[in-house]
Amino acid sequence: MTQAADFERLGSFYLGRLLGSDGQLGPEPLLVDARDFTTHAVCLGMTGSGKTGLCVSLLEEAAIDGIPAIAIDPKGDLGNLLLTFPSLAPDDFRPWIDETEAARAGRSLDEHARATAELWRKGLADWGQDGARIARLREAVDLALYTPGSSKGRPLSVLRSLAAPAAEQRGDAELMQERVSAAASGLLALLGIEADPLRSREHILLGNVIERSWSEGRDLDLAELIRRVQSPPFERVGVLDLESFYPARDRQALALTLNNLLASPGFAAWTEGEPLDVARLFHTPEGKPRLSILSIAHLDDRERMFFVTLLLGEIVAWMRSQSGTQSLRALLYMDEVMGFLPPSAAPPSKAPMLTLLKQARAFGLGVVLATQNPVDLDYKALGNTGIWLLGRLQTERDQARVIDGLEGSAAARGGGFERGETERLLAGLGKRVFLLHSVHEERPVLFGTRWALSYLRGPLTRDEIAKLQPRAASEPVSKRGEAERAASGASVGTSGARPALPPELEEQFLAAALQPAGARLVYRPALLGVAVLRYADAKAGVDQFVRVALLRELGDAASWEGALELDLARLALGAEPAAGAGFSPLPPGLGKGSADRLGKALALHLQQARPLVLRRSAEAALTSRAGEDEGAFRVRVREALRERRDAALEKLRVQYAPKLARAEQHVRRAAEEVERQRSQRTDQAVGTAISVGATVLGALFGRRSGAGTLGRAATAARGATRAAREHGDVARASEEHGTAEAELRALDAQFQAETAALRSAGGEPELTELPLRPRRNDTQVERVALVWLPYRAGAGGRSEPAFPALA
């Protein structure tokens, strides 16, 4: 049995045990360096090969090591990762037992639950695992099961994919183009429109509309997109005028198709739940690593392509926002990738997937793809894949395709490839036996997959998902500012003509969203203030400038108390109101000189109410940035410490590798010497026995003379003396072999102790707070303006905001 100490190695994934030359499982565990997965991996195997169990084990190992992962699940199998029971009690298994399976076994549900619990306990023990390791898995990561497009489980809102990227991302032309293309491709896939980004006028039009809004820092929702398709904010596309490129009548047809999607009852599910935010899928708001399973088994093909394309676009954007690293920062796993990365066609998901395979390594993001049939995958893309996990394949044709792919990959990397040996190994694979072909290893190895920590009961139904992972109702899709929430549903009050303002006070109007026909708008006044604050602390090495924008809806007095902090780029402001709108009255105090007075009040308010609380990690020598919450900073600190740990581990490996190699060589030579001495002893013993026997026979039967008999007796005596000496040589050689093995064990124990010290130092990072306040001279007010907020008048004098959420 494999002992826990054999595989609990720092920064290594325990995937199974190596097969010996006799084809049987040996005692040696297969450990794969976590960093190797930054070169990406592909897992191929027919149904029943054990592919799902291997990939679940891979995700479990990443989780235990604190590495976050996003797992796209088209079949519904990966929800089993939440079926992890540290106590391994029958009652834990009972709710998930398949009644049909129990009946087939001739057991009641309770009996089958007891049998299953015992099966899992024994299976884990056979692989050196137990409930304590399951508990480590549960403690290391947050397990979340999402169901986009469904209210079962935890839904995901895809509307965030139409929100404008952050300013620093908008400055990256390549990233902007990729995100625009992903958003347009995903929407058109949902509409059932096959759209080539270079030739489809639908794609080009949507891309231009999205790009124009985002470059101005404006968010889009589907309603606003429909309006802009009808009346695009540009007159030319390339060198052609808009009407020649896409006439108004055809644009109206596209707008109606989009509107039908928006009006569809089923589309509401895509707007509910947590936002599609990759950072939140990889980590909780508190910074804990998260294993996010995105179950899409309930979606049809168009919906799957829509969601996967948008998700991959978001992952590319997230990837580009990260710093470079040689450590494994996160994993993206996709089960049954068939149709999303084909060798010839170009579905919308292919371009962002290729981008990840080509570029993600530099950012520490490993991509793992799994499928039954090699023909499902683009072999040019697989040239960027460093690890192949190959199980039993269905046909000889599939094996030939894999061999061709491996040969091409080896040629692309300038390495050798033993085609005949690989063909022989692939042909003999059994169930749960895989061939590991890695660019990080000298030669391919065969291994048997370990027992999964999770209860692999098969695909989960949507009702089971709802029971397993109930929707987190406490998290709204979006939140409005306090001022907006307080005003929502309030009385419109008196409305009349547009009030006059002093000339020095800037006046702006927030754009209203698309309103129903006949809706009446009433503008309510709010104050907008923009200032730059400097936070400096020479001792802590901090000198940061923060630009702050505050919005405060006005009541009876002009004040900054309770103002909402927001992203100024997301405010769609204009110089003129909507036609026919009414206005609420202004509070007193907005006369002459009010702009200067409000600016001074804003500076004082910010100095008192806007301290910058930074966090410091002495261990990582890092200080949080302005606007970086504690969870995000913990992630950054943890990644920095992981990089330091990996560097220290590599240093240890370099330090101990020659020592261990010499010790292993000493053990081998000593073992060879023992065998040589044993062989010599056996030969000498046989020769002495023959000589003594001949002497005895001669003495008994008198076939030789007495002198000859005496000579042979002397020879036999000398042979017996040599045999005794050979026996002593064997004992000395065995003793030397034992000493060499003891030295090797001691050296390995020393190495493991030092790596264990690295692991014990990798707990939750300790943070201290560093509060800073802006000094009076370091506060610069850039702008104070009166902003009119549009409200839609309702029945009974009530009103509701006619603009998107501001926060």
Q: What is the pLDDT of residue 73?
A: 96
pLDDT above 60 for 299? yes
Classify strands 779-793 and 799-801 as parallel, antiparallel or unpaired.
Answer: antiparallel
Q: What sign for the dihedral angle of Cα 661, 667, 671, 673?
A: positive
SS (H, E, C) 678-698: HHHHHHHHHHHHHHHHHHHHH
Q: What is the pLDDT of residue 493?
A: 46
Helix or strand (DSSP H, E) at 368: strand 365-371
What's the CA gap between 238 and 244, in Å, rounded?
11
Contact 387, 436 (CB under 8 A): yes
**b or e along 604-637 (b: 16 or more beta carbons within 10 Å of the residue's beta carbon)?**
ebbbeebebebbbbeebebbbeeeeeeebbbbbb
pLDDT above 90 for 331? yes
Greater model confidence, 749 or 325: 325
Beta bridge partners of 145: 293
Contact 383, 439 (CB under 8 A): no
Highest mean pLDDT range out of 210-224, 245-259, 528-542?
245-259
Name which of 158, 50, 746, 49 is nearest 450 in CA terms. Answer: 50
The DSSP output letter for 491 is B
Q: What is the pLDDT of residue 288?
A: 93
Name which of 332, 269, 280, 273 is nearest 306 in CA terms. Answer: 269
Q: For the residues 154-175, what does the mean pLDDT come to?
A: 79
DSSP notation for 714-726:
HHHHHHHHHHHHH
What's the CA gap between 454 and 464, in Å, rounded?
16
Greater model confidence, 333 or 586: 333
Percent of the chain exceeding pLDDT 90 equals 35
Q: For the residues 479-497, what does the mean pLDDT come to?
A: 44
DSSP notation for 214-229:
HHTT----HHHHHHHH
In this predicted structure, which of 207-211, 287-291, 480-484, 589-593 has the lowest mean pLDDT? 480-484
Name which of 217, 160, 164, 162 is nearest 572 in CA terms. Answer: 217
The DSSP output letter for 768 is E
Q: For the residues 585-590, what does the mean pLDDT come to?
A: 82
Greater model confidence, 12 or 198: 12
Highest mean pLDDT range out of 545-554, 677-686, 750-759?
545-554
Q: What is the pLDDT of residue 98?
A: 87
Classify strands 779-793 and 521-537 as parallel, antiparallel or unpaired.
Answer: antiparallel
For the chain, state the CA radius of gyration.
36
What's the CA gap between 782 and 531, in Å, rounded?
5
Q: For the residues 300-321, what does the mean pLDDT come to?
A: 91
Q: What is the pLDDT of residue 700?
A: 44
Q: What is the pLDDT of residue 49?
A: 92
What's the CA gap between 188 and 791, in Å, rounded?
33
Q: For the residues 669-673, what does the mean pLDDT come to?
A: 79
pLDDT-derived band at 125 (thresholds 50, 70, 90) equals very high
Q: For the residues 755-782, what does the mean pLDDT come to?
A: 80
Q: For the residues 270-294, what does the mean pLDDT come to?
A: 91
Q: For the residues 283-311, what does the mean pLDDT come to?
A: 93
Q: What is the pLDDT of residue 160?
A: 62
Mind listing the domains of the chain with CATH numbers? Answer: 34-155+289-303+321-431+450-465 (3.40.50.300), 482-611+773-801 (no CATH), 631-760 (1.10.287)
Q: What is the pLDDT of residues 706-747, one digit of tens each?
A: 455 545 445 555 555 555 565 566 678 778 878 877 877 887
Q: Position of tokens 């190797």?
A: 36
Q: What is the pLDDT of residue 478?
A: 31
pTM of the model: 0.76
Greater model confidence, 786 or 476: 786
pLDDT above 80 for 461? yes
pLDDT, the chain, mean:
83
Q: How far is residue 782 from each of residues 480, 531, 601, 603, measured CA to CA in Å? A: 25, 5, 13, 10
Q: Position of tokens 């902090």?
A: 565
Q: What is the pLDDT of residue 471?
A: 42
Q: What is the pLDDT of residue 294?
A: 96
Name which of 116, 146, 121 is nearest 132 in CA terms. Answer: 121
Contact 639, 329 (CB under 8 A): yes
Q: For the residues 252-262, what does the mean pLDDT come to?
A: 88
Greater model confidence, 716 or 353: 353
Q: For the residues 193-199, what does the mean pLDDT come to?
A: 83
Q: What is the pLDDT of residue 284?
A: 93
CA atoms lying within 13 Å on the CB side of residue 487: 29
Name which of 407, 615, 431, 581 is nearest 497 in CA terms. Answer: 581
Classify strands 542-553 and 612-617 as parallel, antiparallel or unpaired.
Answer: unpaired
SS (H, E, C) 48-117: CCCHHHHHHHHHHHHHHCCCCEEEEECCCCHHHHHCCCCCCCHHHHHHHCCHHHHHHCCCCHHHHHHHHH
Q: What is the largest distance, in Å, between two alpha-carbon atoms of the chain?
A: 146
Q: For the residues 673-683, what does the mean pLDDT come to?
A: 73
pLDDT above 60 for 496? yes
The DSSP output letter for 474 is T
Contact 747, 652 (CB under 8 A): no
Q: What is the pLDDT of residue 517?
A: 66
pLDDT above 50 for 200? yes
Helix or strand (DSSP H, E) at 272: none
Q: For the residues 559-586, what does the mean pLDDT come to?
A: 84
Q: What is the pLDDT of residue 696?
A: 42
Q: How far is residue 31 from each of residues 7, 9, 14, 440, 689, measured CA to CA in Å? A: 7, 8, 5, 12, 51
pLDDT-derived band at 485 (thresholds 50, 70, 90) equals very low
The DSSP output letter for 147 is -
